[in-house]
Structure 1
Amino acid sequence: MDVRESLRRYGLCPVGADLDEVRALLGDHTARERRAQGEGDTELMRLCCFQLFNSGDVDDVLLVWSAKQASFDAACSIDIEFLLGHGLDVTKAYLSASRAPAAAAAALERLRELEADGEFEGFSVEERSASYDRYYGD
């Protein structure tokens, strides 16, 4: 499956069983990308992360973080804001309480660094979603 097929099948705001398929697709391409950079489709991974961002399920934060950490290309392709589908404060609280301490600590540390640098000033889930809606709609 490529970006075009994923958009056709799931749209930008998948729900229900479609979300599970998006998660599985992201997991598959993350594993491929970890094995060898370029083996996973980082553009498709980016779309999957945006689709999960739109779902607003905070339980997807570590899945998105894992995808972002799969390779240099994935890190560049997947925006850190895709962790923030429920907003910065909710995401930080979730990561602080996570049962996956190493990954959660790394993600939380990165978010805090960017927050201290002012990276998230004016961040809005709705505005970010609308921006990517336009990007994928073109």
Structure 2
Amino acid sequence: MTNMDIGSPPARERALRSITPETAKQHELLLRAIFREEIDYRQRDEDQAYFENLYWCAYLLFHVGDLADVESMWIAKNLNMDTGSGFDVENMVGAGVEQTIEYLLERSLDDAADYIDECLPAHSQQEIEEWSRSRRSYFYDV
């Protein structure tokens, strides 16, 4: 899947559809590339027929669980009013709530760390798992 076309929103949607949460880690480079494309798409304020691609890709990156993705997710969450309210903070904590907060504080991203700490107390793992099941159902019609 390394040579997959991701140059258009419909192509990225097809790519996302072919990746499940269980296989997300195998496709993390592709997912990061799609995520960057989706951020660019949102910044251009183009037709939002494919607005869910950003959220879907973030959900799959949650399953990758790499702290390296948190900063770009914070950027995505703060792109505009739509992403500010529609981008679930849970996407950012695939590596764990406390680990993510610590990572952000080490990088002087205190606003992001504080936001996660406010929204997702460390004891909220069960709620995060429920959120993940709900998102899976939403994106994959399980």
Q: Give the TM-score range, shorter chain.
A: 0.7 to 0.9
Point out where structure 2 has 5 or more consecutive residues left out of the alignment.
1-8
1:78 aligned to 2:81? no
Over 6 Å off, 4+ runs: none
1:53 aligned to 2:62? yes
Q: Distance in 1 between matches of 2:111 and 2:87?
A: 16
Of all paired residues, the percent bearing the same amino acid is 25
State the match for 2:6 in structure 1.
none
State the match for 2:25 in structure 1.
15
TM-score w.r.t. length of structure 1: 0.77
Q: Pick the aligned partner of 2:103 from 84, 94, 103.
A: 94
Aligned residue pair count: 130
State the match for 2:124 in structure 1.
122
Q: Distance in 1 between matches of 2:119 and 2:50?
A: 26
Mapped contact 1:32–1:40 kept (Cα < 8 A): no
One-letter code aligned to 1:10: I
State the match for 1:111 in structure 2.
116
Task: Check 1:15–1:86 CA distance in 2 against 1; reply closer, same or farther (3 A cut).
Answer: closer
Point out where structure 1 has 5 or more consecutive residues left out of the alignment.
none
- Cα drift, residue 137 of structure 1: 2.5
Q: Distance in 1 between matches of 2:45 and 2:84?
A: 14
Q: Distance in 2 between matches of 1:130 and 1:37?
A: 30
